[in-house]
Amino acid sequence: MDGPPGTTRRAVRCAPVERQSLRFSARLGNMPTALVTGGSSGIGYAFATELARRGYDLVLVARDPQRLGSAARAVRNKFGVQVHELSADLSDHDDIARVEQVLADRPIDLLVNDAGFAAHDDLLDDDWSGQVRALDLMCLAVLVLSGAAAREMVKRGSGEIINISSMNSLIPADNYAAIKAWVNSYTEGLAARLDGTGVRANVTITAWVKTEFHAAAGLDRPRIPDWVWVPVKSVVRLALADVRRGKVRSVPTLRWRFAAWVLQHGPLALPRRVSHWVQSEHDNNRIGGPDEPRPEDV
């Protein structure tokens, strides 16, 4: 939205940003720096540990300050890198603005947008609060933070952005699927806009990844064959390799790449059939979404 006359247009301007809590040096150290949302657990934490192993300093963003602190300490103690903790609820416009300010104020070499939760609310539900929250967290925050990071990266002529999506984005299912379809489209458009600038954007479309996200979403692990699950390290390493070589869309593992191809290029009725199955699983309470957001995404 636009600010008062004479001010710079900002993507989010809901309240004055508390600048004191954001004061730290232009760089945490001499190494490259990555900012990871949802960085306290799941896929986000896996990104944090892999990046720290590669020598990145980190800015970790998550909603729960205690969990965030524990994750940051674990990374510091194991890898000896510098880790800045930023507790923020990215479904809140003020907190989105705080993180946006960090991206505008300091050099970030890699942004990973992973924060999310399983927003499988009934589309006919008359309480829209959960779905609006999901839109703010997984659409608005991705839009604002990706844009803020990209603008600064373009000025420097280098940088990388990874947005985490889901196989759900390839089927017409619910609000979560629609949100993740938007993430796919937005990231591919951003990558096209950044072509020739030295900045790269990638969307990584994940399937069933071995994290606590699926337990929170009500998925029954024993009912799902082991071959379906994807190791979280495989997701992280593929995303980092693909964004580095300029690949815009990634799907970890050959079997899920084949599944994605079939959903996109196979019979038009197939995604609808999959959607009906997913909806029936929701109705049977075998797949569902938690009331509280989780700091990682599927």
- pLDDT category of residue 2 using cuts at 50, 70 and 90: very low
Classify residue 155 as left (phi > 0), alpha (psi -120 to 50) or beta: alpha
Written as one string, the DSSP assignment of 67-130 is HHHHHHHHHHHHH---EEEEE--TTSHHHHHHHHHHHHHS--SEEEE--B------TT-S--HH
Establish if 292 belongs to a structural domain: no
pTM: 0.79
- pLDDT category of residue 6 using cuts at 50, 70 and 90: very low
Amino acid at 57: D
Establish if 293 belongs to a structural domain: no
CA dihedral 177, 179, 183, 184 (to 10 degrees): 30
Domain that holds residue 252: 20-283
Distance CA 238, CA 37 (A): 18
CA distances from 99 to 123, 200, 281, 284 (A): 30, 20, 36, 39
Higher pLDDT, 51 or 14: 51
- pLDDT category of residue 197 using cuts at 50, 70 and 90: very high
Higher pLDDT, 49 or 25: 49
CA angle 110, 112, 117 (to 5 degrees): 170
206 touches 252 (CB < 8 A): yes
Q: How far is CA 236 from the centre of its chain?
A: 12
pLDDT tens digit sequence for 205-243: 987 777 654 454 444 455 666 666 788 999 999 999 999
Asked which of 8-17, 155-164, 268-277, 289-298 is least confident by mean pLDDT, the reply is 289-298
Q: What percent of the chain has pLDDT over 90?
A: 55
Number of structural domains, the chain?
1
3-state secondary structure 171-201: CCCCHHHHHHHHHHHHHHHHHHHHCCCCEEE
Distance CA 142, CA 27 (A): 23
Establish if 15 belongs to a structural domain: no
CA distances from 134 to 117, 181, 220, 292 (A): 7, 13, 23, 11
36 touches 114 (CB < 8 A): yes
Tell me what the mean pLDDT of segment 278-289 comes to. Answer: 47
Higher pLDDT, 136 or 231: 136
Asked which of 24-33, 43-52, 72-81 is least confident by mean pLDDT, the reply is 24-33
Establish if 9 belongs to a structural domain: no
Establish if 101 belongs to a structural domain: yes
Packed helices 42-53 and 65-79: angle between N→C axes, nearest 10 degrees: 20
Establish if 1 belongs to a structural domain: no
Please give the mean pLDDT across all residues of the chain. 80
pLDDT at 175 over 60: yes
Higher pLDDT, 13 or 64: 64
Establish if 290 belongs to a structural domain: no
pLDDT at 144 over 70: yes
Distance CA 99, CA 39 (A): 13
Kindly report the CATH number assigned to the domain that includes residue 253: 3.40.50.720
Establish if 7 belongs to a structural domain: no
